[in-house]
Amino acid sequence: MRLMRPVFAVSVSAFCLLAFTLLTSFVHAQYGNHPAALKTLVVPIKTSTGQDAGSATFKESKDGKQLSITVKLKNLPFGEHAVHIHQNPVCDAPDFKTAGGHFNPDGKQHGMLNPMGHHNGDMPQNISIGENHTGEITYKVDYLTLEPGAPTSVLGRSIMVHEKADDMKTDPTGNAGNRIACGVIPAPAM
């Protein structure tokens, strides 16, 4: 009578090696060569009453030269709304003023159409919320990153939705009105 255990043992070893390889690939895809370097981050967004307003997904390109920000919103008023990255990782209701001003490490003026440059926290267009009170947009920018400690990192900031559209030129806020939804972009735990 022949035992099949050696074949089973080889299969288990092969399975463990495969599992380890897949896990290593996953960790590398999520964190790159540096364990603290994120590649994708999902941030919940809430209204001033704490109602779910959607999420923002931050995803860095493989070469780290472009940040994709997909904003999916719900339960918000119909119309055009500005989206900005704000300085502080705080979303205290009801007015979200604790988030500070727009993220602006280079000390520029507001607005993508401003000849003096734009804040790093300025997005290239507004988001449209439809009659069903939902909307989605993806921004692709080369002036923000998920790299911890980088001067242009969004980590340790907040993402803000305003009541009106951004006019893309008026300093310091683009006449976007009150802050109606906010999400904290956490800093990495060190």
Catalytic residue among 81, 157, 162, 166: 162
Residue for token digits 């463990």?
Answer: 16
Residue 28 catalytic?
A: no
Residue 110 catalytic?
A: yes
Handedness of CA 136, 66, 114, 153 (dihedral sign): positive
Residue 122 catalytic?
A: yes
Catalytic residue among 81, 102, 118, 157: 102
Catalytic residue among 110, 118, 157, 166: 110
Residue 84 catalytic?
A: yes
Q: How far is it, in rounded angstroms, from Cα 100 to Cα 26?
A: 36
Catalytic residue among 81, 118, 122, 166: 122
Catalytic residue among 81, 84, 118, 157: 84
Residue 162 catalytic?
A: yes
Q: How far is it, in rounded angstroms, from Cα 94 to Cα 59?
A: 29
Residues 175/180/181/182 CA torsion (nearest 10 deg): 60
Q: From the centroid of its chain, how far is CA 78?
A: 23
Residue 119 catalytic?
A: yes
Q: Nearest CA to 68 among 90, 46, 41, 88?
A: 41
Contact predicate 162/25, CB 8 Å = no
Catalytic residue among 2, 34, 52, 86: 86
What is the total residue count of the chain?
A: 190
Residue 34 catalytic?
A: no
The residues that are catalytic are 84, 86, 102, 110, 119, 122, 162, 179
